[in-house]
Structure 1
Amino acid sequence: MTAASLDHPLELQQLLPALIEQGLITAQAAHSIQAASCTQHPLECIAAQGPCLETLTQWLAQHAGQPYLRIDPLKIDVASVVPLMSHAFAQRHGILAVAVDAQSVTIASAQPYISAWEAGLAQVLKRTIKRVVANPRDIQRCLHEFYRLAKSVSGADQKMAIPGNVELLSLGASDKEPDANDAHIVNIVDWLLQYAFAQRASDIHIEPCRDQGRVRFRIDGLLHDVYQFPPQVTTAVVSRLKSLGRMNVAEKRKPQDGRVKTRNPAGAEVELRLSTLPTAFGEKLVMRIFDPQVLLKDFDQLGLSSADQQRWHAMTRQANGIILVTGPTGSGKTSTLYTTLKQLATREVNLCTVEDPIEMVEPAFNQMQVQHNIDLSFASGVRALLRQDPDIIMIGEIRDRETAEMAIQAALTGHLVFSTLHTNDAPSAISRLQELGIAHYLIKATLIGVMAQRLVRVLCTHCKRVTGVENIGCYEAVGCMECRDSGYRGRAGLYEIMPLDPALKALVTPGTDIQALRREALAQGMNSLRMAGIDKVNAGVTTMTEILRVTPGDSETNPLFVGP
């Protein structure tokens, strides 16, 4: 570009020759672009003929000698950057503040040769301006979403401000409860849910703090900061969600549970499970988002290898006994159980569950929810189910001796029982049952097997890169626009399946040696979680760093290769 072209918007006739020269478009495509009537940004007009808009943006940044930025809303402190300029100013110049510190402000623009706004903005903000080139479509979308949200937050905060008395203000008193049905609050909640769906979040955390309320999303197992609300707005948002979940809005001293059904941007029905917790600064609310596709997944999609599937199916084909799935919260136990039960729930079988709460409603099951306020516990629920002529029973979790004893009784009377335990690995389930007071001979008589599992992040197929190191760490995470620069997209399961064969049952004694049990299970062909992870690494599914993050080690064996 020449000096004469500075402070002029981009034009097609300026860009097309350079793009043809770079081989990004053909002369024929350039002719079609010029012939078409397009009122959008020149890069969007060109992208309509085939080239990727993000690739064109990267080329423009290099061509203009400015840094390129792919806008990731999760990495922008929206509450800090929106007040830097008015919506009208940002819209008029097509710019978006994406970062700010004490010395500088980073501004994204899709017009690198327009700089008329720079000097005035730098003077007003008393900071230097750092320019980056970003996708024009992302800039416009974020401008709309960020300022719309900021307007709703500001409007809600002003409505809740205490009128008049300055002394009351200084004391932090309030003369009214936040209005959960205020239009601003409704807009904030709608944005929160739709944004979570767009970001593939599995959980939404709304956490009251001393000065601000914090919103975080869990994406692929890791939490990300999203936004900060004023305290009163946070309270109103929580109240709105409690109302939607049919919870007692006035009760703030006790934990509560609720459910909400809504739709994602694609129109599919999504169920949210809500849980509140009283904290020092107000109620914390967590929403777990249940993927409507979970019940449609098969074992290949969950991540089970063919050998593990054979072991699992051999266990689940038994007529009676107990099968346990173990792992920490959020390790995918629910998905595994629901996928299994979905396959077992034929028209000839009466399948009943007792859950706390019911994770996902499935018409093929008879589902009952634990309700402690009326003394309907897991144990009493199982006792009731046994009078309902069941074939298969699923107990949400074995937490106490009474529930464990009812599960044992159900298995001894000819039922197939599924349940979960919180243990680090499969062999530890034996010691956990013994700690709950179950005799070793009852465990040997009823336990079919145990599956331990974890969820591991999957490498993004668009950007993963071969490291060149054989056997270990075949690929590494890079980061691209598809995975939002994390290098990972989605999660898969790691499984440790331990069928209780006669050799293992012989080791179940009043003082079971778990390490001896583990060694024998490995000798019988069980893959440990760490070994299952290494198989995933060798298959190019994930990285060794990720495996070490999510799997327990074994002090008796090599820290990388867990084996007998």
Structure 2
Amino acid sequence: MNEISAQPRIVYIDDDRNQLALVERFLSGPFEVITAENGEDGLRIISETPPDLVLLDINMPKMDGYEVCTRLQATPKTSFIPVVFLTAMEEEKDRARAFAAGASDFLVKPVKKDALLEKVRAQLATGAAWKDLQADNRQWHKKIESADFAGFKEHVAGQLNLAPDKKERLFETTAADIYTVFAEMGLVESTLSRLMSQYMGLPYTTRISPETIRLGAIPTAFCKANHVLPVMTESGEKGFILSNPFNLDLVDMLKKNFALEKTAAISIAEPSRIDLFFIEAPSQQKSSAVGGPQTPSPATAPKITVRNEADTDHPIVQITDTILNAAVAERASDIHIEPKETETTVRFRVDGDLRHAFTLKKATGMMIISRLKAQSGIDIAEKRKPQDGGFVANLGDRVFNFRLSTTSTPNGESLVMRLLEPYGAANSLSELGMMDGQVAAMVAAANRSSGTILIVGSTGSGKTTTIYSLLHAIDHKKRSIMSVEDPVEYRIPFLNQQQVNEKAGVTFDSLLKAAVRQDPDVLFMGEIRDGFSAKMAVDFASTGHLTITTLHTSNATTALFRLHRLGIDRGTMADTIIVIVAQKLLKKLCPHCKQTVPISPQEREMLAAFTDDVPSVVARSVGCPECRSTGYLGREGVYEVLEFDTQIAEMVRSNAPIAEIRSFAKRRGDLLIDTHAITKVKELLFTPKDIFEKVLAEETPVRERQKPRKPEPATADAGPPASAASVLLVEDDADTRMLITRFLETDGYTVTACADGIDALLCLGKQSFDLILSDIDMPNLDGFKLLEMINQKGVSVPVIFLTSRAGHEDETRGLELGAVDYIKKPVQKDLLRLRVKKTIQGRVSP
């Protein structure tokens, strides 16, 4: 290591002349001190004769300390000079921002002589070590291939089931080029990082907080060049985050110069995640003098460029940008920022499921929410009332709309953001998952001159995406197409799109009236939300126009019930509807790791009620780095397309039952949603369990009920005879289930016990019951949803709810749905016996 010179050279830059004189007096003698009153003069002095150390103020006119430091880092000649910030700014975020700019340490003003001398001597020693590192004739970017790297490549090829050409390309690469080759093969770099983590037995990290960075431990230029971060673990242990553990040259340097011990905490992260910590520091001169960034107009969706923000405190910008970029990399549809008692958690919704992404300090989470609210035109001072807003952001070469919604919780303000890519190319209907016959029916309907196309499904089932794909099948050169949306999710050049803006007084109803007056050939109405919009949709369709819209309901035929409740009579439906499309989105099994196995007895039972052609083999989820060990990768739709031909229209007009309409459609060969889902099980896209819980549970065919025979008379004290009645008990608590079963069996009832609503639906498909006793709060399918499905299928069986809730809201809701009684937990034996007996006797009475 080089010795520190007899009189090391120090450059101090500060716009405060008194401060310059004070520091110069403290250091003169053992050190040569050169001062500069602004950043430009300081950079000129440093470039002429590079010093051993730079002392730097932050708040300076024209060019602040962050910008000076960033410029030093940009030049190889000066990038290894230690920089110590002298500043009155002492918050943790200031230290993190100093690291991002390239500083090696931080000293808070007012400066004391002893502390300054101690800091200077330590940093001069660090600078000497950095000179050795810089003088090392080995080139950092030339990686030494690990002896085990060949084994790792075999592991990658096996895990990803690579095609022969890709496998050959992989085996030819060196450790230095592995990320580049991975990208050329169209694979995601985070997949490679996870595979490295898995193979090396090292943790993979997606949560890198600026507060954990060890300031000045390694030159920033070295960190950038080698994709490495020095960190401090939660237990206080020194650690390093690497992107490529097969870079033995880097490992040797860390051992030699930065105390990388065998016991050091090493973790893996992809290069792009590490790169987020080297964002150019923003200039404070660009910020508002009072109050920080200015709040944009609520009537607009502001546009920001991620990673180049210059009007907000850098650490918060940095952490926020890390979250946004990670969400895009993980294919998230939503970001949830949720305050807890002592921290803030960030979760991503990926393929319909929420996954934990980051844990932040509570104060950090609050600042991130405030920043996002300001970017979205939301009042940052209002934290109690729910608010909505949005902004547009460029992430790399892609543009995203972020739709924000806030609400108040006992632990603070919570925020949910939805990610939309408005200029993304529309998928074809086939790419969404439709069969060829379904696509043909949809395209034919879209090219009709009049009528209503109704897309139905639950929230988040992809209805709008289907409509955007459908709109691209319309000849827009010859036809005028207008939309009324809330909000506009995708930009379509040939579509005259209108967006609701309640704050500006632009309501859904007013836009709908305006659209009708424009007399377009095709009207896309975002959704039928009430009686007014339902009437407008059918009226517009009945006057020689085509209306395309959505409705929240479970399948094509039950949409008729919903429209009837909104005031549309059956005759009008028969005259105006040309097709109803029902859809659901299901997670697809990961093609890289799914396993094909013989179907189990339980899976066979799930499918047997819906098809005579039960497959002998099915696919199951496994988990690999490509799918983040979830076993699933992406989602695909299952659909039913019900065409309103003369026969279906006449059945609707004559008030035929929903079950009869569905039965007729299936007999004539229509591909209903349950059949489509089973087809995709046979194609090894979905598991039987997934389609049963998400699709078949709502379609379960229940056998014809037999009227129970009247029981023999019983005395007031005695229970009914043993064969008198059967009870379906639905209760997820094992102890309660066992206790109630014992009570009822003692009285002679036949009891079938189920742990949740899904199991109950299976039981209802096999036999009839005289009574259902159901808990309300249950996993998978709660009591309310179970009762709704029973009503939908036309099953006539009384339901008594069990619950431990104290309020009356649930009791009211249960009774409105058709429950006959409501029993509070803990269940009292005598009360339970009397209510069950009364209900069953009332059911079998003549």
TM-score, L = length of structure 2: 0.50
Match of 2:349 among 208, 218, 221: 218
Residue 110 of structure 1 aligns with which residue?
245
- Counterpart of 1:465 in structure 2 is 595
CA distance in 2, matches of 1:131, 1:49: 28
What residue in structure 2 maps to residue 479 of structure 1? 623
User: How far 1:419 moved relative to its partner?
Assistant: 0.8
Match status 1:316 vs 2:446: yes
Q: Which residue number corresponds to residue 372 of structure 2? A: 241
Cα deviation, residue 418, structure 1? 0.8
Shift of 1:86: 7.9
Q: Is the 8 A contact 2:401 2:422 kept in 1?
A: yes
Is 1:334 aligned to 2:467, yes or no? no
Note closer, same or farther for the CA distance 1:409–1:462 as it changes in structure 2 (3 Å cut).
Answer: same
Distance 2:232 2:212 in 1: 12
Residues 326, 421 of structure 1: 8 Å contact kept: yes
Q: Which residue of 2 aligns with 1:71?
A: 204
Alpha-carbon deviation of 1:427? 0.7
CA distance in 1, matches of 2:335, 2:399: 17
Q: Deviations over 1:287-311 (max 9, x none)?
A: 2112356543111211111011122
1:398-429 deviation line (CA, Å, top 9, x unaligned): 11111111111111111110111110111110
TM norm structure 1: 0.73
CA distance in 2, matches of 1:59, 1:338: 37
Amino acid at match of 1:313: V
Q: Is the 8 A contact 1:217 1:226 kept in 2?
A: yes
Alpha-carbon offset, residue 325 of structure 1: 0.7
1:524 to 662, 665, 668: 668
Q: C-alpha deviations, 1:487-545, integer Å up to 9, x for none?
A: 22221111111112222223325865222222122223232323212211212323223
Residues 271 and 439 of structure 1: CA distance in aligned 2, closer, same or farther (over 3 Å): same
* One-letter amino acid of the structure 2 residue matched with residue 550 of structure 1: K
- Per chain length, whose mean CA-contact separation is higher, i.e. which structure has more relative contact order (CA < 8 Å, sep 6+)? 1
Where do 1:29-178 residues align within 5 Å? 43-44=175-176, 68-69=201-202, 71=204, 73=206, 88=217, 110=245, 138=269
- Residue in structure 1 matching 2:684, options 534, 540, 546: 540
Please list the CA deviations of residues 228-269 of structure 1 after superposition, one character each: whole Å capped at 9, or x if unmatched: 33333323212211222233334444433323222233x122
Q: Alpha carbon RMSD of aligned pairs, Å?
A: 4.7
Task: Look up the equivalent residue of 1:68 and give its one-letter code.
Answer: G
Residue of 127, 147, 152 corresponding to 1:15: 147
CA distance, structure 2, for counterparts of residue 443 and residue 83 of structure 1: 62
Conserved in 2, the CA contact under 8 Å of 1:202 and 1:288?
A: yes
Cα displacement (A) at 1:335: 0.7
Residue 186 of structure 1 aligns with which residue? Answer: 317
Distance verdict in 2 for CA 1:180–1:57, change over 3 Å: closer
Q: Tell me, in whole angstroms, the C-alpha distance in 2 between the residues paired with 1:240 and 1:131.
A: 33
Contact 2:590–2:621 at 8 Å: present in 1 too? yes
Cα 1:57–1:366 shift into 2, 3 Å: closer
Distance 1:444 1:231, change over 3 A: same
Q: SS at 1:15's partner residue?
A: coil
Deviation at 1:435, TM superposition (A): 0.8
Does 2:390 match 1:390?
no
Tell me which residue corresponds to 1:409: 539
The separation in 2 between residues aligned to 1:191 and 1:54, in whole angstroms, is 14
Which region of structure 1 is more displaced relative to structure 2, 310-319 or 248-257? 248-257
Shift of 1:67: 6.1
Residue 666 of structure 2 aligns to a residue whose secondary structure is helix
Corresponding residue for residue 435 of structure 2:
305
Corresponding residue SS for 1:542: coil
Letter in 2 for 1:505: A
Query: Does the 8 A contact of 1:95 with 1:110 survive in 2?
Result: no
The number of residues matched between the two structures is 492
Pair member with larger Rg: 2
> 1:362 — aligned with what?
492
Instruction: Output the CA distance in 2 between the equivalents of 1:489 and 1:98.
Output: 34
Task: Evaluate the alpha carbon distance shift between residue 417 and residue 106 of structure 1 in structure 2; reply closer, same or farther with a 3 A threshold.
Answer: same
Query: Which amino acid is the alignment partner of residue 523 of structure 1?
Result: R
Distance 2:364 2:144 in 1: 46
Query: What is the aligned partner in structure 1 of residue 326 from structure 2?
Result: 195
Return closer, same or farther for 1:262/1:476 CA change in 2, 3 Å cut-off.
Answer: same
Match of 1:452 in 2: 582
Q: Render the CA deviation track for 1:43-84: whole Å, top value 9, x for unaligned.
A: 44788899999999999999xxx96357363xxx657x9859
CA contact (8 A) 2:542 2:576 kept: yes
Greater shift after overlay, 45-54 or 436-445?
45-54
Partner of 1:35: none
Give SS of 1:486's match: coil
Q: Is the 8 Å Cα contact of residues 453 and 495 (structure 1) preserved in structure 2? A: yes
Among 316, 322, 325, the alignment partner of 2:455 is 325
Q: 1:255 aligns with which of 366, 380, 386?
A: 386
User: Contact between 1:345 and 1:365, CA under 8 Å: does it hold in 2?
Assistant: no
Deviates more, 1:492-501 or 1:414-423: 492-501
Task: Report if the CA contact (8 A) 1:440-1:508 is conserved.
Answer: yes
**Per-residue deviation, 1:17:** 11
Q: 2:449–2:546: 8 Å Cα contact kept in structure 1? A: yes
Is it true that 1:350 corresponds to 2:480 in the alignment?
Answer: yes
Residue 431 of structure 1 aligns with an amino acid whose one-letter code is F
Structure 1: gaps of 5 or more residues: 1-10, 26-37, 123-127, 149-159, 161-178
Per the TM alignment, residue 339 of structure 1 is displaced from its structure 2 partner at its CA by: 1.1
Cα distance in structure 1, aligned partners of 2:232 and 2:545: 59
Q: Distance in 2 between matches of 1:82 and 1:370?
A: 41
Partner of 2:701: 556
**What residue in structure 1 maps to residue 420 of structure 2?**
290
The letter for the 1-side match of 2:325 is Q
Q: Quick one: which of 555, 559, 565 aligns to 1:435? A: 565
Q: CA deviation at 1:226?
A: 1.2
The more displaced of 440-449 and 508-517 is 508-517
Find the aligned partners of 1:93 and 1:200 in 2 and give their Cα distance. 23
* 8 Å Cα contact 1:82-1:147 kept in structure 2: no
Distance 1:331 1:525 in 2: 25
Instruction: Rate the CA distance shift 1:131–1:531 in 2: closer, same or farther, 3 A.
Output: farther
Give 1:262's aligned amino acid: A
Asked whether 1:425 is paired with 2:555, we answer yes
**Alignment-derived partner of residue 645 in structure 2:** 501
- Distance verdict in 2 for CA 1:511–1:374, change over 3 Å: farther
Instruction: Give how far 1:361 is off.
Output: 2.5
